[in-house]
Structure 1
Amino acid sequence: MGSFEVFGGNKLKGELTPQGAKNEALQVLNTVLLTDQEVIISNIPDIVDVNKLINLLQALGVKVQKLDKGKYSFLADDIDVDYMLTDEFKQKGASLRGSIMIVGPLLARFGKGYIPKPGGDKIGRRRLDTHFIGFEKLGAGFKYDAATNFFKAEAPGNRLKGTYMLLDEASVTGTANIVMAAVLAEGKTTIYNAACEPYLQQLCKMLNSMGAKISGVGSNLLTIEGVEKLGGCEHRILPDMIEIGSFIGLAAMTQSDITIKNVSYENLGIIPDVFKRLGIKMELIGDDLRIPEQELYEIETFIDGSIMTISDAPWPGFTPDLLSIILVTATQARGSVLVHQKMFESRLFFVDKLIDMGAQIILCDPHRATVIGLERKTQLRGITMTSPDIRAGVSLLIAALSAEGRSLIHNIEQIDRGYENIELRLNNLGADIRRI
């Protein structure tokens, strides 16, 4: 188990280029299973979760060639469908939550898709019902073996049939999986209450460039006319909005002057506005976002003077992946904020580490925490802590970089799952982070 040794208190200065979006990569990489033609994808982040998925695709028989940094060619013209029943596949699939999204493409093209219960962050209950209910509505049979935690979906006659469905929740990965299954189904599929995050929009645009017929992209009502076959394409992944939000919080907490390059601002939604509610100043220069050094930032109140509440919601609402960053950034602000994590009931449990560092936080219940900002009157202090998940891990890293003295963060493999060479990139700006 690796650790970060962090010496805090340094102001950072310089430019950061965000990596490719992790959440988009874990979707669009699976599209290569839908065609026997070459697919080229660029701006792929070099992170643990994405590399595990590429390795899983190779194990299934996908020919993978690295063309350049972050740019790969994929050719799925000889897939070993029987590999899905091997113990090796069960082990590889169980180590990665994104593995669930290979089922839709395999079911669409080969009439069968198997997967063990996938892994991922331990942030609370993350059910998979939306995926498999969608497959069943497309005509697939579904079985779950509780003894082995193994899911099996099979299409009668090896072809799914289009239908109308109203999703029980606007699940991003659930929508992506169902869309990939439906593009080769017979007839028309209509998906209502579909997720419409930029990741999902990118997936649909990519599939359309491969010959799919998807309309309503960007809305919660998708219509898919099934086609017989998909071809190859070239696709570029968006910059990671979660990393961009993390850098905004980092700059504010450490009183740094950081410019985030090529942020694809039009795809950030309300993320910049939410950070502005914390009083953080930013400047858009072309497509670069500059966060200037700021002595103090003050949390807004609502119009009637009541305490600001920041909560997550399906897109175009605020992404739940950045609530941990909002929470830690608020610890040094002037004013108070209620952070309401609606989606996952275990994601706020890392606040005990921040409290040990000197932050003033009241954990109201598993979903809500009230932060009383310290106004920089008291600096956080370095401690030893353990990262419970990707986003909490980076939040603790941000806290440690702003803290007085030495911090030790264990289980940094969690951070590596979502952030590419984070310590090298931040050290280039003046941070003092050592991987031990």
Structure 2
Amino acid sequence: MNAFEIIGGKKLKGEIVPQGAKNEALQILSAVLLTEEKVTISNIPDIKDVNKLIDLLAALGVKVSRVNKDTYEFEAKDINIDYFQSEEFKQKGGSLRGSIMIVGPLLARFGKAAIPKPGGDKIGRRRLDTHFLGFEKLGAKFVYDAENNFFNVDATELKGTYILMDEASVTGTANIVMAAVLAKGTTTIYNAACEPYLQQLCKMLNRMGANISGIGSNLLTIEGVERLGGTTHRMLPDMIEIGSFIGLAAMTGSEITIKDVCFKELGIIPTVFAKLGIQFELRGDDIFIPAQESYEIDTFIDGSILTVSDAPWPGFTPDLLSIVLVTAIQAKGNVLIHQKMFESRLFFVDKLIDMGAQIILCDPHRATVIGLNNQTKLRGIEMTSPDIRAGVSLLIAALSAQGKSVIYNIEQIERGYQDIEERLKALGADIRRVDAQPAH
């Protein structure tokens, strides 16, 4: 089993470039199925979840050409619909949560799709109902085969309709949008997600010939068109990586410049880190974070303890709450972290407590962090990464801790962060990959 061995407590320095956005990639790549013309996509992150989806597209019959490290050309001219029935599809689709994203485009273009119950992170229930309820409203019928854990969806003709989403799901909205662009008539989606990644998808689809209005709001109107053509698209930098690097700089007292961040697309993220007392300045489109000996958490105006919670965009993304929690460990002051969306995402705090953090886990959704203000350093321990974001949070904790830490199950981290070891080494981190098994 691969593990990271980290000698912590070193100050880092230098520049780091965020990868392309993982969560945008899963939507954008699926959209290539909507046309038989060539689609060129750049700034694609070289990570496991994305590479698995590219592999799945190729297996479906998409012609895939890699132009360079981060740019691919896709041509979905000859799609093999019978591939759905194969054992290989069940295995490939089932190992990747993002495989659900191919259903919308396939329904739109071919009138049928199937998907094994997807895998992915163990961070609590992730319902797929939103996707399927949307498809049903557009006229699709689906049958869940419980014996084989398989969803079969059929839609000989999709028709535009009014859809009030039961939750502002990003992947749900993206999937329904991709199904609706080729449907007959007008589709209105209310309570739509409006994340920058979804805006990117809608803009790309419009360049391909779709007719989507209301982009950036929670009310999307889609006039169905006959067909879509090819386009080129560049993905945004990954806002979760950017937030992770801000937290890393603060926790290790390091001077770090994060390059080309597309600052206007980061929404409230920089503001939340500023509330933790982290100083930074915008230099062009780079975020410069000076080395800070100490950072103090704001209180609310009435003096009560700051709460940081997740909410649909433009609220704070749930993917960064683990990072905020870790960053608060060495702040001066206290903060309540309220993870509303996933009920198991805070369970990694026991590892941080073992390292010496002062954290009270109130319930599966809330944790209170009592900041150490750098008076006591965390100590290195052995631990296992339960999911992508917790894994990087533990990595940040280990880089700030005294002594040696070992993090097992780093495959979870590498599902979301490309070349993380090399990029951290370039900043001066003492991290190396080892082949090791946990003792228990």
State the TM-score bracket (shorter-chain normalisation).
over 0.9
State the partner residue of 2:80. Answer: 80
State the partner residue of 2:358. Answer: 360
What's the CA shift string for 1:171-230, capped at 9, x where partnerless? Answer: 000000000000000000000000000010000000000000000000000000000100
State the partner residue of 1:167. Answer: 165
The number of residue pairs the alignment matches comes to: 434
State the partner residue of 2:427. Answer: 429
Letter aligned with residue 370 of structure 2: I
What's the CA shift string for 1:371-424, capped at 9, x where partnerless? Answer: 000010100000000000000000000000000000000000000000000010
**Secondary structure class of the residue paired with 1:306:** coil
What's the CA shift string for 1:94-146, capped at 9, x where partnerless? Answer: 11111000000000000001000111110000010000000000000111111
Which of 175, 195, 198 is the matching residue for 1:197? 195
What's the CA shift string for 1:239-271, capped at 9, x where partnerless? Answer: 000000000000000000000000000000000
Matched, 1:150 2:137: no
Report 1:157-236 matches (<5 A): 158-236=156-234
**Secondary structure class of the residue paired with 1:162:** coil
Supply the distance in 1 between the matched residues of 2:153 and 2:187 (Cα, whole angstroms): 18
Supply the distance in 2 between the matched residues of 1:393 and 1:69 (Cα, whole angstroms): 25
Supply the distance in 2 between the matched residues of 1:78 and 1:161 (Cα, whole angstroms): 25
State the partner residue of 1:9. Answer: 9
Letter aligned with residue 277 of structure 1: K
Which of 316, 324, 327 is the matching residue for 1:326? 324
State the partner residue of 2:113. Answer: 113
State the partner residue of 1:371. Answer: 369
State the partner residue of 1:273. Answer: 271
What's the CA shift string for 1:28-82, capped at 9, x where partnerless? Answer: 0001100000000000000000000000000000000011120000000000011
Supply the distance in 1 between the matched residues of 2:217 and 2:45 (Cα, whole angstroms): 27
**Secondary structure class of the residue paired with 1:263:** coil
State the partner residue of 2:238. Answer: 240
Which of 394, 406, 409 is the matching residue for 1:408? 406
State the partner residue of 2:26. Answer: 26
Supply the distance in 1 between the matched residues of 2:286 and 2:276 (Cα, whole angstroms): 20
Q: Report the CA distance between 1:159 and its aligned residue.
A: 2.2
Q: Report the CA distance between 1:84 and its aligned residue.
A: 0.9
Letter aligned with residue 91 of structure 2: Q
State the partner residue of 1:348. Answer: 346
Letter aligned with residue 387 of structure 2: D
Supply the distance in 1 between the matched residues of 2:426 and 2:35 (Cα, whole angstroms): 41
What's the CA shift string for 1:4-31, capped at 9, x where partnerless? Answer: 0000011000000100000000100001
State the partner residue of 1:258. Answer: 256
Supply the distance in 2 between the matched residues of 1:126 and 1:429 (Cα, whole angstroms): 36
Supply the distance in 1 between the matched residues of 2:433 and 2:84 (Cα, whole angstroms): 36
With normalisation by structure 1, the TM-score equals 0.99
- What do you get for the CA RMSD once the two structures are aligned? 0.4
**Secondary structure class of the residue paired with 1:404:** coil
Runs of 4+ with >2 A deviation: none
Supply the distance in 2 between the matched residues of 1:409 and 1:175 (Cα, whole angstroms): 35
Supply the distance in 2 between the matched residues of 1:427 and 1:68 (Cα, whole angstroms): 24
State the identity as a percent: 78
Letter aligned with residue 260 of structure 2: N
Letter aligned with residue 320 of structure 1: P
State the partner residue of 1:45. Answer: 45
Supply the distance in 2 between the matched residues of 1:291 and 1:175 (Cα, whole angstroms): 35
Supply the distance in 2 between the matched residues of 1:391 and 1:109 (Cα, whole angstroms): 35
Supply the distance in 1 between the matched residues of 2:157 and 2:87 (Cα, whole angstroms): 27
State the partner residue of 2:97. Answer: 97
Q: Report the CA distance between 1:149 and its aligned residue.
A: 1.1
Letter aligned with residue 231 of structure 1: G
